[in-house]
Amino acid sequence: MEVGKTKKKELVKIKSIPYKDFKNNDYLEEMVRELHENGVNVVVGALDEAINWGRGNSLWPLTFATSCCGIEFMSVGAARYDMARFGLEVARASPRQADFIMVAGTITDKMAPVLKRLYDQMADPKYVIAVGGCTISGGPFKHSYHVVKGIDQILPVDVFIPGCPPRPEAMLYGMMQLQRKVKLQRFFGDVNKKEVSEKEYEERMKRDMTANS
Q: Does 63 bind other proteins (CB under 8 A)?
A: yes
Q: Does 202 bind other proteins (CB under 8 A)?
A: yes
Q: Does 191 bind other proteins (CB under 8 A)?
A: no
Instruction: Give me the least distance between CB of 173 and other proteins, in Å please.
Output: 5
Q: Does 212 bind other proteins (CB under 8 A)?
A: yes
Select from 102, 103, 148, 155 the one that contacts other proteins (CB under 8 A).
Answer: 148
Q: Of 59, 46, 75, 147, which is closest to residue 105 (Cα–Cα)?
A: 147
Select from 72, 102, 103, 128 the one that contacts other proteins (CB under 8 A).
Answer: 72
Question: CA angle, 192 as apex, 191 and 198 as ends, to 5°?
Answer: 90
Measured distance CA(52)–CA(55) in Å, rounded: 5
Select from 12, 14, 103, 155 the one that contacts other proteins (CB under 8 A).
Answer: 14
Instruction: Give me the least distance between CB of 42 and other proteins, in Å please.
Output: 20
Q: Does 27 bind other proteins (CB under 8 A)?
A: yes
Select from 10, 34, 169, 200 the one that contacts other proteins (CB under 8 A).
Answer: 169
Q: Does 200 bind other proteins (CB under 8 A)?
A: no
The amino acid at residue 11 is L
Q: Would you say 101 and 119 are in contact if contact means Cβ atoms under 8 Å apart?
A: yes
Select from 6, 39, 43, 110 the one that contacts other proteins (CB under 8 A).
Answer: 110
Q: Does 108 bind other proteins (CB under 8 A)?
A: yes
Q: Does 185 bind other proteins (CB under 8 A)?
A: no
Q: Does 189 bind other proteins (CB under 8 A)?
A: no
Q: How far is CA 198 from CA 62, 162, 206, in A?
A: 24, 34, 12
Q: Residues with Cβ < 8 Å from 59, sequence gap 6 or more?
A: 86, 87, 88, 99, 100, 127, 175, 178, 179, 182
Sign of the torsion angle spanned by Cα atoms 155, 172, 132, 103:
negative
